[in-house]
Amino acid sequence: MLVTKHFRLPDVGEGLTEAEILEWRVGPGDRVGVNDIIVEIETAKAAVELPSPYTGTVTEVLCAAGEEVAVGAPIIALAVEDDSSPQEGPEPDVTAQESAEPPPAQDEQTSALAREPVLVGYGPTHAQTERRPRKTKPEPPVVAPSTRTSRATPPVRKLARDLGVDLHQVAATGPSGRITREDIHHLAEQRAAESNTPAVRDDAVRTPIRGVRKHIAEAMVESAFTAPHATEWVTVDVTRSLKLLERARADKAFAGVRLTPLCLVIKAALTAIARHPEINAKWDAAAGEIVQYSDVHLGIAAATPRGLIVPNIAAAQRLSLREIALALTDLIEQARAGRTPPERMRNGTFTITNIGVFGIDGGTPILNPGEAAILCFGQLRRTPWEHQGRVRLRDTTTLAMSFDHRLVDGELGSLVLRDIARFLERPDLMVLHS
């Protein structure tokens, strides 16, 4: 016998409460199997593909693409074979056509928890949430008919509504006394000039604030207004580091490995953190303590079509230079493709952002919430530099590090930044301190 099973949106990340439906891979009538990808969603941290927990036929898609859905809300219904015995009775969530009296609440909850399908890596969600109603466009205001509005075409009337312009106050310049788009814009711009407010044209690009972009904004505001930032700068001669990279690329051990200057910056930062582990920590205001981590979950800021995200390399301090290069390539490819696993977006302890790829020398980076420091890596330049008593052209870069001044004082911040600079200037020293 076929029964209807509802697949509920799982919690695919730590503390997430909702997600946006990006794209359905199936529709009503499609046959799916267990672990077949049925939908792609976007959380506040990344895009995630969800597999089906059932084998059956799709009967109804309950949420449209672009809709935001609460965790725990049903998003799709499937007709599946009922494999339960007659004595067990149907599941309480299986079909809308049941007319029998449901069992007591306590038994129903226990039964549902026992049979709830669990996606690998996600776990069950037991929060009692309801599906968020679909958003509908507001009804346009009713405009009383008049001789003036009748002399404006429907697109022009819509433009007036969008810009908040009253057609009765517009001076018509079109043929036969018609109101034109230029008339609407002229009045809107005139009012904007009077109020010192920029006018918004009808061709303005409007982007909803949600998903990754919304999470970035909330995290940056939280960080900027809770952690007192301090930033220090240093310019470094990295000529020896770049020569080391050239030799390493020619070595068979690095064949097929994308070895970049950022890899050496990562190695230098990890070596400096090992010498000063107090900076690999967070300020826990709720517990009233400073928490120092043993592993460095190294976050790498990555620019993606959905905005800036900071996935991390877990326990990066255990990796060799070759392993760092491979992990970095994998992290960037996943981020740009929108396939970063949720576990890579959690529990970062120290971050590096590479703005040099955009041709920028330096900046004052904002901390990721829960981290004590972030390192900014600027562009590489050929610069006149004093070397061995003579001025020569050398390869240089600028490093800037922001830190949480509640737990990192000026001495600790300076020592960490000094060591990173020293290891990039003399990469051979990293061998002595690793």
Identify whether the C-beta of residue 240 lies closer than 8 Å to the C-beta of residue 427.
yes
Question: With contact defined as beta carbons under 8 Å apart, do 397 and 380 qualify?
Answer: yes
Q: At 154, which amino acid appears?
A: P
Tokens of 338: 């929108």
> In the block, which residue shows the tokens 């008919």?
145
Type of residue found at 327: A
- Active-site residue, from 185, 229, 276, 405: 405
For residue 214, give the nearest of 375, 43, 9, 385 by alpha carbon. 43
Q: What are the beta bridge partners of residue 387?
A: 390
Tell me the backbone φ, ψ of residue 344, rounded to 5 degrees. Answer: -80, -10
405 among known catalytic residues:
yes
CB 75 within 8 A of CB 20: no
In this structure, what token pair is assigned to residue 66? 């672009």
Show the CA angle centred on residue 168, arms to residues 167 and 171, nearest 5°.
Answer: 80
Nearby residues of 245 by Cβ (< 8 Å), 6 or more positions away: 259, 260, 261, 263, 264
* Structure-block tokens of residue 430: 């990293």
Q: Which residues are identified as catalytic?
A: 405
